[in-house]
Structure 1
């Protein structure tokens, strides 16, 4: 029997005909909660959800017509299923939307949790200040996520001398809540200067774990300050309300947290310049005062012969001493600034690695004594240009 081979287009077109010509998928009404509203090029893209499923929808020309959809509202949407064959996707093409009087399940849960926290006063608690130069930063996210890569990239770009500790967790799905709570508790046991909670954008359902009451309460228990960078510009979760600092994206959170040594150097140079100019201006003002004093002395000497040359010499000596005092003060401040530069340079964690030393880590902690290692232990060797895993013999 001869094998029949179809092209991708043929299969896609066949699926398109099946769906678009099915009477059960044409001119039907669908009931659900409106989420993920995204106006784009005059159209409105959104999703209808219930507790078990999501249906992507589009209202063509809706944005141009001034139609505004409301997140969390329940609605009955009329229309038909359509297939976009270039992407192999289907959407519900809307022809009419009727709002219902009650909110959707997700919106009700969101508002109930928020109200509960407000009544307990937890959203008004004082925010913990962030250290300007943190040394140990915990990152709570998925190890394979783009958000974690954004954090690592930002740290490298800013040349920040910090230690980063990853506490891996799923950030969506059935196991996400349990794993996220465990990651928060584990991070709270470490001696960290602050904690970053990051996740890239997604639908409201994808980000829902950060609205869970148990997760939010665990964030409130954190000893170090917490910075969130969850979703994109338009996304907002309850975890953002309880964090000490909330940024719109993972990259924004990382940029807020990691000190940029280039900016620090520029700030010190600017400070040194202002200090030097201030001292020179003070010296110039004192010299002007001395000049005026000399003029007065000369004018007085013409009238009173008892003012002799010794007085003038003494005044010049005092002026010289004053100038030397000013210059010595400026040198001491310059030495202080140079010392600060050396301290900044000494903070680089890689300064020992540049000399050929290797840092040995076990379970995220630096090994300081050989007795703490056992045969068969797996350790991480940190070199200047990368990391390698090794097993103790």
Structure 2
């Protein structure tokens, strides 16, 4: 967001933040990074998703083939961001067959190739997509035979022999979750999938899936802007020992301060149809941004870093995956790994967040209909 003088304030803050954070994270000066360039060795902040160790902040690459504004990013820069993220200590990268479709997995596979064995690759199946052309077909498809075909194609696009974490992107209302777990179990036995998870599923489906084959992680939207998982999903994950991965942890850019009362959206930008960004609701919701700005000043950080640090402070098994197509924003986001909120600060910030009533819905009804779905029972 510009300050009126053509200066991107978030980029400026990110550069300043990176300069502040780097000395605290750096090891011996002049160490060699993965591509042979001189770089400091970062002390990496780690967390556990079930039995899977990842960096405490990941990188979502969803928009690296097409942004929310419908523009196509410069591919060499996307590869550079992925590799710079690894240099910053990020070892957890999130993609999906549906992103692109197909193309984002190709970008990620190329991006991590120099250090593939040192990172965790997550991707997702479940939408009805032609594995050859990427053409979207109606509805969902989690039939076991289709999952096998999809995984083989994913491995090629990601340039790897295994998927570290494979999610069902949305629950297929026509396929029992036990059948899905069964094929994942076979793929695990073959070494092609190491861990599995579910996204935006119904609670009953999560229980059944975990009973059939232990689930490593659940991925759902979660941020200061939408706190729905706090009621039931997070408590169930804690009970079952399942990690939680918030997508859109920065509220599709809202919590960074990039959206204000003058913001308009391009055709095709999903935010145009989300009522939480409607003109009537924005004034109330911008109270969150003002709160984040106050805390950023207090902690000598940025609003994005406060929003991510707040998520990290909720549970030790929460790992947000902010996405970006801009180097400055990736550096800003990764800086959240070095930001600490004390117990009293967390309590104070939680109280302030709870006092703000967010107005509007998080997704258009046609998209929201795919969340919270329960898989059908297995035939007896």
Per the shorter chain, which TM-score range? under 0.3
Q: With CA pairs under 8 Å and 6+ residues apart, which has the higher RCO, 1 or 2? A: 2
Structure (1 or 2) with the greater strand fraction: 1
TM-score, normalised by the number of residues in structure 1: 0.26
Larger C-alpha radius of gyration, 1 or 2? Answer: 1
